[in-house]
Amino acid sequence: MLGLLAGIFVLARILYAIFYKSYIWETKSSGFDFALSNLRANQRNAYLEHAQTAFRILGNTWTTRSLGTSMIESIEPENLKAVFHADFPTWQQGNFRIKTFRPLLGYGILSANGRAWEHSRALIKSAFKSYTADSTIYEKHIQNLVASLPRSSAEVVDLQPYFLRLTMDISTDVLFGTSVFSLLPGSADFADAYEIVKDNIFKDMQVYPLGWLRDHREARAATKVVHDFVDGFIEKALASADAINEEEDQGRRYKFLRQMATELEDRTKLRMELLSLLLAGRDTTAALVSNMLYILAQREDIRRKVQAEVASLSGRFPRIDDLKRLQYLNCTVKESLRLHPVTPINSRTAATDTTLPTGGGVSGTSPVFVPAGTQFVTSVHALHRREDLWGPDAAAFKPERWANNTPAPWHYMPFLGGPRQCPGQGLALNITLFTVARLLQIYEDILPARSEPWQGAIAVTCWNANGAKVRLVPKDRT
Ligand code: HEM
């Protein structure tokens, strides 16, 4: 009898899905099945494809539940504009983000909403405004990177962990005025502790809201190490501010941190904002640089074009102004961020009852009512691969598509958009363009290790599970 009832239920669900497919798709389950299927896909490094398939089958907007939370998933530009821009005050960073980030970042920009966020945002905006990008800072760390890489083209090297150290060294140099020099031997204390803390955030996210059941002793100790380090950097920067003249080299070096310190007396809050910037910027930039080197090694046609363009610099290292002029390289970075966005999933929670402009009704284009507490989730990965927005070749890596082409608003959002758009976009692009150009200048060639597919592994940032494995051919091959 029970089997018969279950059979009728399943049949009814299938008929419902077939005949009412144009209605917003909905499941009445508690969402354990949904959460489990996501977890399983993630374990296989196939979460992004899993989500993309769901949009293909269920449409561009659909609702579900995950572990008891109501969710609405959408890759409709109109809905993205509403959530991230037009109806911005309603859609907040949810507890998922806030509670998992808070032990490391307190009430810093990444884990704040409302007035607290506005304050953080203004502070960071003014620090970026006062800061002048200078590629000589990057060059110093590129030299340390190259010194630590294998010298023989016979050796396969996965560049991903090296780029993590590179971006750690550049980020701390720019933000704190003092690099942690994790690429140099014997100076990895801060970087090691930071890795433990970051890993802990990701593990808490995976099991949210059950993170409190995990053992946090190691993470707590590592958090203290990270906090003490940053406090030390702050003291050093502020002490030097008293001792030296603004015009001197030291004054320029600490510009970012000191600008923030002049507007923020609370030293704990200052530490949290600096760490928020590090968390937001370091891994993301490393992932982008890794993706770039992966694709350049795999695709000789693209590599040759970028090499030819970089050759126009006649071997001198690029100044910031030169970077924008490397047009084909810029197109390749945009294409990398389209097919492999490093923050491919984004979410918000509705603070009050609201509506989304599209995705409901029989036509699938009517507004959708959204009760307070609903989580909105988007897949930037799936959005960037929609054939109706990007053409039938949407899945192909083609930097040429960017020549004289600006995407429509909310069709392309690797740095998000609206009031919470990434404030570090310029810095991230400068570091990426510089690193790629320099490696192509320094090495005779960068060859693929083997032909492995790009596979998204999602942690706090999205990585290629197969790494960025290459063989570096030195100029003076012996
Ligand atoms: C390739 C590199 C980067 C990518 C793809 C990226 C992307 C993003 C995205 C998608 C967001 C929105 C997240 C959300 O609200 O849920 C964001 C926010 C943010 N990013 Fe970036 N980012 C990058 C590098 C950087 C760098 C280098 C910095 C600074 C050093 C930075 C600082 C921030 C901050 C502070 C926020 C929070 C903004 C706010 O909530 O108002 N990012 N970034």
pLDDT digits (tens, 9 = 90+) for 388-434: 999 999 999 999 999 988 999 999 999 999 999 999 999 999 999 99
Ligand 1 contacts CB of residue 343 (under 6 A): yes
What tens digit of pLDDT does each residue of 292-344 get? Answer: 999 999 999 999 999 999 999 999 999 999 999 999 999 999 999 999 999 99
Low-confidence winner among 7-21, 124-138, 345-359 (lowest mean pLDDT): 7-21
Question: How many whole angstroms separate alpha carbon 461 and alpha carbon 198?
Answer: 10
Q: Grade residue 65 by pLDDT with cuts at 50, 70 and 90.
A: confident
> So what's the pLDDT on residue 53?
94
Shortest-distance Cα residue to atom 9 of ligand 1: 415
pLDDT tens-place string over residues 163-178? 999 999 999 999 999 8
37 touches ligand 1 (CB under 6 Å): no
Ligand 1 within 6 A of CB of 108:
no
Query: Which atom of ligand 1 lies nearest, measured to the CA of 428?
Result: 27
How far does CA 400 lie from the centroid of its chain? Answer: 24
- Lowest-confidence segment of 151-155, 210-214, 219-223, 469-473 by average pLDDT: 210-214
Cβ neighbourhood burial of 64 (10 Å; 0-12, 13-18, 19+): buried
Q: Place 254 in a pLDDT band, splitting at 50, 70 and 90.
A: confident
Confidence band of 241 (pLDDT split at 50, 70, 90): low
Find the mean pLDDT for residues 185-202: 87
Q: Which atom of ligand 1 is nearest to the CA of 432?
A: 1
| Res 93: pLDDT | 94
Q: Among 93, 111, 284, say which to mutate for ligand 1: greatest number of ligand atoms within 8 Å of CB.
A: 284
pLDDT at 102: 87
More confident residue, 66 or 160: 160
Length of the chain: 478
Q: Whose CA is nearest to atom 26 of ligand 1?
A: 281
* 462 in a known ligand binding site: no
Does the domain at residues 38-474 carry the CATH identifier 1.10.630.10?
yes
Say yes or no: CB of residue 415 within 6 Å of ligand 1. yes
User: What is the arithmetic mean of pLDDT over 188-214?
Assistant: 87
Ligand 1 centre and the CA of 442: distance in Å? 29
pLDDT computed for residue 54 by the predictor: 93
- The rounded Å distance from CA 343 to ligand 1 centre is 9
CA distances (Å), origin 186, targets 169, 190, 275:
14, 11, 22
| 473 DSSP β-pair partners | 445
Q: State both tokens at 410.
A: 């909310």
Indicate whether 22 pLDDT > 50: no
Residue 284 Cβ contacting ligand 1 at under 6 Å: yes
Position 119 scores a pLDDT of 96
Task: Please compute the mean of the pLDDT values over residues 168-191 and round it to a whole number.
Answer: 90
Burial of 60 (0-12, 13-18, 19+ CB in 10 A): buried
Q: Which of 248-257, 278-287, 380-389, 417-426 has the lowest mean pLDDT?
A: 248-257
State the closest ligand 1 atom to the C-alpha of 287, by its place in the atom list counted from 1. 1
Confidence of residue 236 (pLDDT cuts 50, 70, 90): confident
**What does the mean pLDDT of the chain come to?**
90
How many whole angstroms from 288 Cα to the centroid of ligand 1? 13
- For residue 407 and ligand 1, the question of a CB distance below 6 A is answered with no
206 vs 109, residue with greater confidence = 109
pLDDT of residue 5: 65
